[in-house]
Amino acid sequence: MQSEVQFAGFGGQGIMLMGQILAQAAMQQGFEVVWIPSYGPEMRGGTAYCTVVAADRPIGSPVIRNPMHLVAMNRPSLEKFAPTVKPGGVIFINQSLISIGAGRDDVDVLSVPIIEIAKEMGNVKAANIVALAAFVARSKVVDFEILREAVKGKFAKREKLIPLNMKALDEGRKAALG
């Protein structure tokens, strides 16, 4: 089993953080893991994307042209990467910023208004964790409880943020599963 996930959006949306947390969760679950970041010319506002590959066997190449899944946080990312996703994968769409669909009927499309959900929680900065939770709940790339532990680990040095992010995980999972 090998899963490839492309996270893509604007710099500043937490793209790299989502990839790092998923990679950490996959390692905690015992998978072989590769995380490859890519930044546009600007850090904030420019394009940012990363790829996470998780497998139960050694990973032959970290470079993936056709990922199994896509988490698109903005429209340019959806338009660029949606055509590359393998049939049967999950395409997550940040419905707060993207008003179009994936244009695919051979994938599982999940659209979630993550910014509105995060605002209702009281902190729009948690939108990326809402997105990550919704994606993982739908794709089952890693066990959700292991994802929860990876988020706690990532925020261990900023303990006051853990309750917010636990709530973001719960809200994202709820949005994905209905």
Residue pLDDT, tens place only, 22-53: 999 999 999 999 999 987 665 555 678 999 99
Question: What pTM value is reported for the model?
Answer: 0.93
Mean pLDDT calculated for residue range 112-132 = 96
d(CA 34, CA 76): 25
Question: Structurally, how many domains does the chain consist of?
Answer: 1
pLDDT of residue 43: 54
- CATH number of residue 48's parent domain: 3.40.920.10
Q: Indicate the pairing of strand 90-94 with strand 47-55.
A: unpaired
Give pLDDT, residue 12.
84
Q: Which domain holds residue 77?
A: 2-177
